[in-house]
Structure 1
Amino acid sequence: MNKKRLILNFLPSIILLFIIFIFSSQKANVSNSNSFQVLYLLKNIGIDLQSSLGLHTANFIVRKIAHVMEYFMLSCFIYRGYKKSEFNNPLIYTFVTIFILACLDEIHQTFVPGRDGRFKDVLVDSIGVVLLVAILKVKKYFKI
């Protein structure tokens, strides 16, 4: 497979990685502000997590769901890239790649003011790839 084709297969992954990098580069106060904006938007559509859970817990839940969803999307894109590039065992490569990228993201955050790298966030990010594995297993089981 030529390099151009390989890059095209992974282009969605590269774009999403860039977006994740931008969000991870935000100072803690900016990142928290974004989470609060999500809580405000949810409240406007009738989902008031803040009143039922408290501000700190609601913010925590929004942040962790965001981690899982962004890494789920990244897992889908990377899996697609490996599969289209005809790698053997694309799911294993995807799992390892996501774990490494999540580790690198947490290391990167140690250099951002007010942020820190946490291994538990690597595990939260890895839930995204576990979700992909589960969906693929269900899809295979039901032959969808």
Structure 2
Amino acid sequence: MSAEVDEFLAGVTPAVRQRDAHALVDLMRRATGQEPVLQHPGIVAFGQYHYEYASGRSGDSAAAGFAPRKSATVVYLSDGTAAHADALSRLGPHTTGVGCLYLKSLDGIDLEVLEAVVRRSYETLTAGTFGQRAREAAD
């Protein structure tokens, strides 16, 4: 792991977020086969994918990642949380946005389910050029 990621993780507060961040680094490494890099502001990212929308807008983004925020850890699922509804129903305590999974703590979370969700999302995003926004995938 890079010194930049180590330094970022060392400064994460509260303590439960820091503990969970270290666990998520290990989980996402296994799920993606990638090493973490720090993206700003405060996102730990794994791999990249290319997207191109019908509008013509295109670019590259992290294929998997998380951000340990004070109120919750955000796990990014850029293919949309709706694509993982069945698995997320078995995950444990969480809330969702269109492309974000919010975890107050990994306590009570089925980490095997979380790893499978991250792996599936990563594989979907990196299979080729991804052409949907998370909100469109939910429709």
Alignment TM-score > 0.5, same fold: no
**Structure number with higher relative contact order (C-alpha < 8 Å, ≥ 6 residues apart):** 1
* Structure number with bigger Rg: 1
Determine which structure has the larger strand proportion and give its number. Answer: 2
Determine which structure has the larger helix proportion and give its number. Answer: 1
